[in-house]
Amino acid sequence: MSGAAVPRVVVVTVSDRAAAGRYEDRSGPLLAELAAEAGCAVDGPWVVPDGEPVTEALRRALAEGYDAALTTGGTGLAPRDATPEATRPLLEYEIPGLAEALRAAGRDKGVATAVLSRGLAGVARLGGHRMLVVNLPGSTGGVRDGMAVLGPVLAHAVAQMRGGDHARP
């Protein structure tokens, strides 16, 4: 958080159709709204097609010093869903408990297909700067369920990533 109490977050929507203008991005604006409600300063959504443009957007976010990049879309089983593959090479380390909790939240709400999401959570690094990266599903329901999990821990995760101590009771 670079001395600031408010995490700087960028939202990246991953959708071939939305990037081409054939589909209205609904999950990105919702994710930005929910991240702002969680106390973040939010930019985006940046709308990119699946594949290498996802990696480029995450590299840009890292270079621009964001505390977190939250993606929506491209985490399923469709042939073009490649957000995890575009994310993983940038991660210094993964946070598997967070990714598992995101899937479990949807499953626990009765969305059986939530367990098919391949989204990752982890920390990317460029020089001395670290950035939290979390892949959320591309549906508005998946974004809502995911932010119900991520929202309460996002600022703490960023503070920990920056070397902050655990809060004491």
Coil, helix or strand for 68? Answer: strand
Cβ within 8 Å of residue 165, ≥6 positions away? none
CA distance 140 to 45: 14
**Amino acid identity, position 61:** A
Residue spans of the domains in the chain: they are 8-158
Among candidate residues 34, 54, 49, 42, the one with its CA nearest the CA of residue 10: 42
Please state which CATH class domain 8-158 belongs to. alpha beta
Tokens 């598997």, located at residue: 96
CA distance 27 to 12: 10
Preceding amide of 45 cis, omega within 30: yes
Would you call 27 exposed, middle or buried from its count of C-beta atoms within 10 A (0-12, 13-18, 19+)?
buried
CA distance 94 to 161: 12
CA distance 36 to 34: 5
| Tokens (6 digits) for 10 | 């960028």
Per-residue pLDDT of the chain (169 residues; tens, 9 = 90+): 344 479 999 999 999 999 999 999 999 999 999 999 999 999 999 999 999 999 999 999 999 999 999 999 999 999 999 999 999 999 999 999 999 999 999 999 999 999 999 999 999 999 999 999 999 999 999 999 999 999 999 999 999 998 876 665 5
pTM: 0.94
